[in-house]
Structure 1
């Protein structure tokens, strides 16, 4: 709950289930941060005396806030909000320039208002308090101050609005703190209203600022690029500033907006950590600054680089919403908070709670070479194996034979689809499958009818079009232009209504270059990037509300726009164009720190893999993909019979455990050469485990699996799927058992493999949850001295799936 103690100089206490966030109003009117950490016992204001810094004289050459207070300098105070000009030399949360060129401001407390539930934002998505509520942003960029739309009360969610006033200009700033107590999550945002009577330029408006006391901290961020997203990087926080900035026009695979601060001893299951995210899909910025005195400042928001916004008198501008959480239970505690928050308060619409279908995507099977005949052939094979959705990827429209042409011409190619989109969709549905399509509505090729009709509708330098820098042979539509947004909404509504479409993969395959909107005047060009994001949100909002039954999946060359803003409209995102399972283990582990597994798609693809040329088993590819939203992306028609049967078995298994795998709580264990993951049902009665070993090391005979998240006091049946080993996997060792010589890879070798399979290890036992989590001893690894059903065949890149189901004292399922 949110408690406010005192009236003239109130203290604000935001109490979650296991956390507390406390700040107060100083006598000067500034907001002083006192505490963010584990829950405290606070019954009256004097209980906070031990948290309040004692001041007598300001340090050396710091700036006194005023001459009547020789003890008080903003630079040595933990603050909730600050700006340049009054002596705080740390990174500011807000920077404004008035008509005289003045940048100084002094934001002090004016009033507060506490409400049940949560208010909505006018121009951007934000977290919501109750499933099914309507809190999507409005269409106007200038009505951000409209407080008439309130989110409904739910789950104990409360919000306090604190109004600050600039003593110099009389501008108004509203800081919103929403508490989600059951998730131990706080969201913060800022709303600036120009009440100065003159034009104002915003140079930066962060979503939040947080000052922490001196202490040793590490910072973890997630960098990467195309096909290698979410690489975890940990480093100690030293004096100076750590920062990350996206310049891609999107939230970017170069630096996902999720990051963490943590105690140096923090690990997966123990230690203190703070985590931060942003509900925003454009250029973002985060900084963590440590002063020489040890104070730590954290802030994030729209990147101030190449950004400004002209704000006229009476108009308002809002920051994106920031997300903060704290846990003293290590990274798994952080993930539990963030996962439940995303599932319950970010995802929305009919697909937020639904199990996701198993799909077959045509891309790595056919690339651009698709046709009605080929798609129907794939569909028939998919239906026989139990797949539920066929997705027609790129190549179906205009004259799209490669990526140089026709992007933007969203009409079916009559040569490839002679009956049109509806005929194909009807035939796919006739096979018992749902039907999906691929679109990239934010882009066009210059060789397209769309571009020839509207050359001024793309983001480019209109006086130098021939010098435009391009990515993937395409240009970005100028969504900062409302006319373009309106036309794309019209065209996509027409497309999505032309057939029974159940799924849409919404792609965005390049980053920004030559950022310029022909629709904006010279003085407002630095508004282009943010206006693009607002136009995108308006388009997504209109389409998802018009087609609520369509499952939309976001994609941006894989994970180049994997963020909470997109997830506010599209309930899942394609995590990476890299489908290699070995690479995907690292990528999916990275996402798992801040995003639940139901948010990302993961596909079984061909071997050798099309991105890495690595060869892996079908079992490994499935095991990794099963820990996301399962799909297949390979040519089923070319597979041998035994692999088709194996896929049929995989799909049957996945359907049995689908709800747990998609909606259960994800836990990480080890994560180096050996990886342990566990997904546990909400009632902790069932769990699915994942084990992988990247490289087989000779002589390592003992092997253990470490599940997480089980109830220590419950008894579980632990088991695996029966393992069968292809005799050819043993190579020439077969000659140790045969009376005649068998040439490896020869005819006789293959004939024997058709009749003989080796039995692999079987795991089957019951134990209490605490014993299992202490480390379950698995079957012995193969070490070259013998093999039978007690030995695990674990070559490089091998994986296992394990299953845990609660039983009573007699061993019967509960």
Structure 2
């Protein structure tokens, strides 16, 4: 999988279908020369780009190495490479270190864990190798290790960087990227454009696609979390790349804090792609004999369209990122009381909701916000983690026991990172807040943020929630985080290290999550951040599913779930049926549309089934029966996008098993049209050599499904939806 060709001075990293090539330039610098369809060997000399362009700089005088004209694997500050450097370092006297040069490499079987950070998982026996390329600055005694792990079976390469200070004085890291590489700005004569996932609260991860102009284009967050606004993912692809055909080069960062992905298109017609911790408001003092590890990035090339790219991510994240106990395990159908009660509930109300839910086949009852402290609204109670006995006189133990007796599991909502002003803990420890230095810290949703950069705060949270998760028979935890972080300065850190606060917060969060999920391995954790505000690979390492969005409107969910699926597997997406009019958009949609949208993820309900019409209850019962029967196919099968909600009124996607013996096709129409008939959806991912049968046992060939398609009913009604099930068994 990884080899070094000495005569060519090339590292060749090969997966099952693709290859990635690095060349050593003048025995000092790393040059990126290929990433795409597998090529066993490239015979291009380094000198091909050594051109004395006007205003370029000879980094290796008198050897004529004009570094700015080369596509590099590691950007070098102060070298004549005026693009984003991979790392920026200063001595304690403020002198920059910019003489990092190649000096050695190692190739090892397997992959080591990244200490303190989530990262891709290696299992004994996996076809995985790791390349370490070492760079050093002889004067400063700074050592850089570039890490490349090749997952052969998954067509994935992961990258990160570790930097060690072996000197006898501190070194300041001003910025540091997890990866950097330069790729050609065009393929087959067609310019590469940018695909990203943008949004806001209640409209997360919408697909945005456009051209890349000269200069820098940045996708980033400085909100302390990865955020609703931009996801830590980007993809470069020509306009001709569709869901079904074409090339793409994509990057996903396994990190949950301030991040940056930057595309810099230069005059040499290369694009430098860099990704890592956002350099804004960041620095790190690297003491002597210490090291710093960056977050890991996932790199995916595909020449099989965006669906091909997505399926690489889906399989890899399920198998090699999500917790092993849950990555390929079916998820329960749940009901959550939030939109049906908000803070106004008691023991009997929750039992009533759970009993009706059990009648239609729901398996898990989740108690949301309001069960603790003096919590009758969002202005108080948060941080006082004792059961509100006025609402729950039998406690969580009594409530969970009664729900369990009805053959249902019990789940609970928590928000560990936040407090209200009346929290006892901040009266005892006022310096445990981020923003404690201010007389009146900024609030969001009436909340203040605990300082997880302080190890004492993390220790207290571990102790507190070890107790909470032991109350009653808890099978599921919904972990919320309802605001961005404004004052990203920890009182725990000395003045020189204040800019370490946001990254240390994330490291504290990861320690908190890692400890609790390890202590409670049978609890299914679901992440949440005002909906999908921290839906990223870093959180998914600990929590194998996420609340995709607070927006439960069936039509709005089509764009959200379609966009989310660009990177994230279906089994990570929480998707609920809610009441109408919808609480976010006030829109009324039929039950079958809401149910079909929610069945396209981890199915749940956000309503009181006691209050809906019998006709809708019948649809719910039939839908749950269908979902249970085909749950492995939906949650663990291959997912393909067929018609985009961004391109018209018709949306369609399909789930198919790996053997191509059964599939489900879902379709949705936002706005119907008069005489909207003879609509066919071609299914390019079925096996054309098989014969399939539908629910009514009518036969149709795979060839007809692939090249002619499935005919939809007349689409003349707004907000209509349906599905087809076929199998060849």
Distance in 2 separating the partners of 1:158 and 1:378: 51
Contact 2:171/2:285 (<8 A) preserved? yes
The Cα shift of 1:53 comes to 5.5
Residue 795 (str. 1) matches residue 722 (str. 2): no
Partner of 1:582: helix, strand, or coil? helix
Residue 59 (str. 1) matches residue 35 (str. 2): no
Distance in 1 separating the partners of 2:534 and 2:475: 23
The Cα shift of 1:780 comes to 4.8
Deviation track 1:756-806 (CA, whole Å, cap 9, x = no partner) reads xxxxxxx8632232321224252551xxxxxxxxxx6x5112111111201
Distance in 1 separating the partners of 2:712 and 2:553: 27
The Cα shift of 1:334 comes to 0.4
Distance in 1 separating the partners of 2:45 and 2:528: 46
Contact 2:50/2:66 (<8 A) preserved? no
Partner of 2:231: helix, strand, or coil? coil
Distance in 2 separating the partners of 1:403 and 1:286: 35
Measured at CA, do residues 701 and 344 of structure 1 come closer, stay the same or move farther in structure 2, by a change above 3 Å? same
- In the other structure, the counterpart of 2:290 is 315
Q: Give every structure 1 segment of 4 or more consecutive aligned residues whose post-TM-superposition deviation is greater than 4 Å.
A: none
Deviation track 1:23-66 (CA, whole Å, cap 9, x = no partner) reads 12122411111101111133xxxxx2147551454212211012
Q: TM-score, normalised by structure 2?
A: 0.97
- Matches for 1:563-712 after TM superposition, within 5 Å: 563-671=536-644, 672=647, 673-712=649-688
Contact 1:676/1:706 (<8 A) preserved? no
| Aligned length in residues | 722
Residue 778 (str. 1) matches residue 711 (str. 2): yes
Larger CA Rg, structure 1 vs 2: 1
The Cα shift of 1:648 comes to 1.2
Distance in 1 separating the partners of 2:494 and 2:719: 56
Distance in 2 separating the partners of 1:22 and 1:347: 29
Residue 206 (str. 1) matches residue 177 (str. 2): yes
Which among 291, 296, 300 is matched to residue 266 of structure 2? 291
Bigger drift between 167-176 and 520-529 goes to: 167-176
- In the other structure, the counterpart of 1:731 is none
Q: Which runs of 5+ in 1 are unaligned?
A: 43-47, 131-151, 720-762, 782-791, 807-813
Which among 701, 709, 712 is matched to residue 768 of structure 1? 701
Distance in 1 separating the partners of 2:499 and 2:254: 21
Contact 1:31/1:109 (<8 A) preserved? yes
Distance in 2 separating the partners of 1:56 and 1:652: 66
Distance in 2 separating the partners of 1:343 and 1:264: 29
- In the other structure, the counterpart of 1:236 is 211
The Cα shift of 1:507 comes to 0.2
Residue 433 (str. 1) matches residue 408 (str. 2): yes
Contact 1:667/1:708 (<8 A) preserved? no
- In the other structure, the counterpart of 2:343 is 368
- In the other structure, the counterpart of 1:11 is 10
Measured at CA, do residues 561 and 780 of structure 1 come closer, stay the same or move farther in structure 2, by a change above 3 Å? closer
- Matches for 1:252-263 after TM superposition, within 5 Å: 252-263=227-238
Contact 1:112/1:160 (<8 A) preserved? yes
- Matches for 1:16-165 after TM superposition, within 5 Å: 16-42=15-41, 48-50=42-44, 52=46, 54-55=48-49, 57-70=51-64, 72-130=65-123, 152-154=124-126, 156-165=127-136
Measured at CA, do residues 51 and 778 of structure 1 come closer, stay the same or move farther in structure 2, by a change above 3 Å? farther
Measured at CA, do residues 56 and 300 of structure 1 come closer, stay the same or move farther in structure 2, by a change above 3 Å? closer
Deviation track 1:132-160 (CA, whole Å, cap 9, x = no partner) reads xxxxxxxxxxxxxxxxxxxx341x11111
- In the other structure, the counterpart of 1:147 is none
Residue 245 (str. 1) matches residue 220 (str. 2): yes
Distance in 1 separating the partners of 2:47 and 2:228: 41
Contact 1:620/1:798 (<8 A) preserved? yes
- In the other structure, the counterpart of 2:449 is 476
How large is the RMSD of aligned CA atoms in angstroms?
A: 1.4
Distance in 2 separating the partners of 1:766 and 1:185: 38
- In the other structure, the counterpart of 2:429 is 454
Bigger drift between 213-222 and 363-372 goes to: 213-222
Contact 2:185/2:192 (<8 A) preserved? no
Distance in 1 separating the partners of 2:554 and 2:168: 59
- Matches for 1:507-586 after TM superposition, within 5 Å: 507-586=480-559
Measured at CA, do residues 770 and 106 of structure 1 come closer, stay the same or move farther in structure 2, by a change above 3 Å? farther
Q: Which runs of 5+ in 2 are unaligned?
A: none
Contact 2:361/2:624 (<8 A) preserved? yes
Q: TM-score, normalised by structure 1?
A: 0.87
- In the other structure, the counterpart of 2:467 is 494
Measured at CA, do residues 645 and 590 of structure 1 come closer, stay the same or move farther in structure 2, by a change above 3 Å? same
Measured at CA, do residues 51 and 566 of structure 1 come closer, stay the same or move farther in structure 2, by a change above 3 Å? farther
Measured at CA, do residues 708 and 53 of structure 1 come closer, stay the same or move farther in structure 2, by a change above 3 Å? farther
Distance in 2 separating the partners of 1:683 and 1:252: 37
Distance in 1 separating the partners of 2:322 and 2:171: 36
